[in-house]
Amino acid sequence: MQVIKYMFQPHGDDRGQLVALEEFKDIPFKIKRVYYMYDTTEGVVRGHHAHKSLEQILICIHGSCKIRLDNGSEKKVVPLEKPYEGLYVANDMWREMFDFSSDAVLMVLASELYDESDYIRDYDEFLEYVNSKSEE
| Contact positions vs ligand TYD (CB under 6 A) | 33, 35, 46-47, 49, 114
The least distance separating ligand TYD from the CB of residue 127, rounded to whole angstroms, comes to 18
The least distance separating ligand TYD from the CB of residue 132, rounded to whole angstroms, comes to 23
CA 99 from chain centre, in angstroms, equals 14
Q: Which is nearer to ligand TYD, 9 or 103 (CB)?
A: 103
Q: Is 62 a catalytic residue?
A: no
The least distance separating ligand TYD from the CB of residue 93, rounded to whole angstroms, comes to 13
Q: Which is nearer to ligand TYD, 35 or 134 (CB)?
A: 35
